[in-house]
Amino acid sequence: MAVIKVKRPELNAGEKFYLGAIVKGFFITMKHAVASLRNKTRGAKDMASSGLGATMQFPEQKWDDHMPEYYRGAPALVTDEQDRERCVSCQLCEFICPPKAIAIIPGEIPSDDPWAKVEKRPKEFDIDMTRCIYCGMCEEVCPEQAIYLRKDYLISGLSRAEMVHDKKRLYEIGGKRIGLVNKWNELK
Query: Between 25 and 157, whose beta carbon lies closer to other proteins?
Result: 25
Which residue of 11, 52, 133, 181 would you call a contact of other proteins, by CB under 8 A?
52
- Among residues 154, 146, 71, the alpha carbon closest in space to that of 104 is found at 146
- Measured torsion, CA atoms of residues 168, 172, 177, 182, in degrees rounded to the nearest 10: 0
DSSP helix/strand/coil, 98: coil
55 binds other proteins (CB under 8 A): yes
Q: Which stretch binds other proteins (CB under 8 A): 23-31, 65-73, 98-106, 151-159?
A: 23-31
Pairwise CA distance, residues 39 & 35, whole Å: 6
Q: Is 145 left (phi over 0), alpha (psi -120 to 50) or beta?
A: left
| Least gap, CB of 35 to other proteins (angstroms) | 8
- Report the DSSP beta bridge partners of residue 104: 125
Shortest distance, CB of residue 9 to other proteins, whole angstroms?
Answer: 13
Does residue number 41 form part of the binding site for other proteins (CB under 8 A)? yes
Q: Does 12 bind other proteins (CB under 8 A)?
A: no
Task: List interacting residues with other proteins (CB under 8 A).
Answer: 3, 5, 8, 22, 25-26, 28-30, 32-33, 35-37, 41-42, 44, 50, 52-55, 57
